[in-house]
Copies of this chain bind each other. A is one copy, B any other.
Amino acid sequence: MHTSAYSDFKASLLEQASELRARIRSGTHTATTSGVANSLLQGNVVILPSEWAGEFLLYCQNNPVACPLIGVSRPGDPNLPDLGQDLDIRTDVPEYQVFRNGERSEKVSDIKSLWQDDFVTFVLGCSFSFEDALSRAGLSVRNVEQGLNVSMFRSNITTRPSGRFHGNMVVSMRPFASADAIRAIQVTTRLPKAHGAPVHIGDPELIGIQDINKPDFGDPVTIRPGELPLFWACGVTPQLALEHARLPIAITHVPGKMLLTERLNEELAVL
């Protein structure tokens, strides 16, 4: 009975994921994936030539809160079967950001024509995964409530470098009233592979954010009187490291437009 109910639950999620991925593949869904396909794990994406893969892998190991690794492909293989049976990283992200020599270059809706047989794909956990957990805990996630992309900022928190990869941490921000903020810390602590607990709470200036209403990525969201901003490490962090590392080519997702996997957020929960 339990198993059957769970199977039904997961089957309906996978159907939902499959439909959404079809729309992403065909270029119909190019928007943020915030608040969509609840319960399914979403991922940040970094694709780079294998020559740089070891150094980048160590960067992730050095910064597990910002860069929690949930999948790495074999060189040249666009599939990541552990994250999705028919997942194709060349088409399954709503929008891609191409980096050339560390500069943000074109944005594209697929990377079939850019694919190289030495490309390695890294998938990192994403805070959208814990938005589902927050909602199920009865908390309202402002960016979801307002139908917006989450607010993301370049902080002054440094990451631990690996070779040519270095830079400050990008953080995502969600405001909560005090008691909900405490609950949000508890809930997200259970999900270390989706950035876990916040890295900062309260005064944005203490982590180098001058204007909370002007995010560096994503959309501004409303902060109501008496609410505290909570800041989580964000999987856009490696994009700043890519800027510094100046690889000839690297490809990421566009912030907020994530890879949808076929795994449940709950599969990654501890406790």
The segment from A11-19, A44-52, A84-92, A198-206 found at the interface with B is A198-206
Interface size for chain A: under 10, 10 to 19, 20 to 34, or 35 or more residues? 10 to 19
Interface flags for A54-88 (1: CB within 8 Å of B; 0: not) read: 00000000000000000000000000000000000
CB distance from A223 to the nearest CB of B (A): 13
Cα distance A17–B181 when bound, in Å? 37
Residues of B within 8 A of A202 (CB): 178, 181, 202, 228
Answer whether A201 and B201 are a contact pair too, CB < 8 Å, given A185-B186, A186-B186, A271-B271: yes
Closest to A199 in B: B179
Interface 0/1 of A161-192, CB less than 8 Å to B: 00000000000000000110110011001000
**A271: which B residues are within 8 A, CB to CB?**
271
Q: Quick one: which of B178, B179, B198, B203 contacts A182, CB cutoff 8 A?
A: B198
The answer to whether B178 and A201 have CB atoms under 8 Å apart is: yes
Give Cα distance in the complex from A189 to B184, angstroms. Answer: 12
Contacts of A206 in B (CB 8 A): 178, 226
Decide if A150 is an interface residue (CB 8 Å cutoff): no
- Answer whether residue A197 sits at the interface, using C-beta atoms and an 8 A cutoff: yes
Q: If A206-B226, A226-B206, A271-B271 touch, does A200 touch B178 (CB 8 Å cutoff)?
A: yes
A157 nearest in chain B by CB position: B179
Distance of A181 Cα from B189 Cα, bound (Å): 13
- Bound Cα distance A189, B200 (Å): 18
- Find chain B residues with CB under 8 A from A203 CB: 178, 226
B contact residues around A178 at 8 Å (CB): 200-203, 206
Closest chain B CB from A50 CB (angstroms): 36
Q: Is the CB of A201 within 8 A of B189?
A: no
Question: A208-228: which have CB < 8 Å to B?
Answer: 226, 228
In the complex, besides A182-B201, A189-B189, 5 extra interface pairs with C-beta distance below 8 angstroms are A181-B201, A182-B185, A185-B186, A186-B189, A271-B271
A-B residue pairs in contact (CB < 8 Å), sample of 5: A178-B201, A178-B203, A182-B199, A185-B185, A201-B201
Residue numbers of A with Cβ under 8 A of B are 178-179, 181-182, 185-186, 189, 197-203, 206, 226, 228, 271
The 8 closest A-B pairs by CB, nearest first: A185-B185, A178-B200, A178-B201, A202-B228, A182-B197, A186-B189, A178-B202, A206-B226
